Amino acid sequence: MSGAGLIRRRFVFSGEVQGVGFRYRAKMFAEELGITGWVENQWDGTVVMEAQGTWEQLYRLIRELQEARFIEISRIEKKTVPVEEHEYYFETR
């Protein structure tokens, strides 16, 4: 994905986010929305995700994750990071 209007955000999710299908759903929703990036469990129980798309696409991705069954997000840390020019898919790490 490339073009004007793209942004990339790094999210750190806290709460009941491991062992509940978070990464699977993040990948599924990202692919449906045309978002690239990655998602990864951390040793401290959080999940880190970098997602690249338009503001609207990223907003919809976060909303889908917040509304997903079994996932209980208590906190989201957000940071804008540089766009990856040659990224073409979303992966689970």
Q: Which residues are catalytic?
A: 23, 41
Say which residues have a Cβ less than 8 Å from residue 90's Cβ, sequence separation at least 6.
Answer: 26, 27, 30, 31, 35, 36, 37, 38, 39, 51
> Looking at the DSSP assignment, which residues form a beta bridge with residue 41?
47
Q: Please state the length of the chain.
A: 93
Cβ count near 12 (within 10 Å)? 16
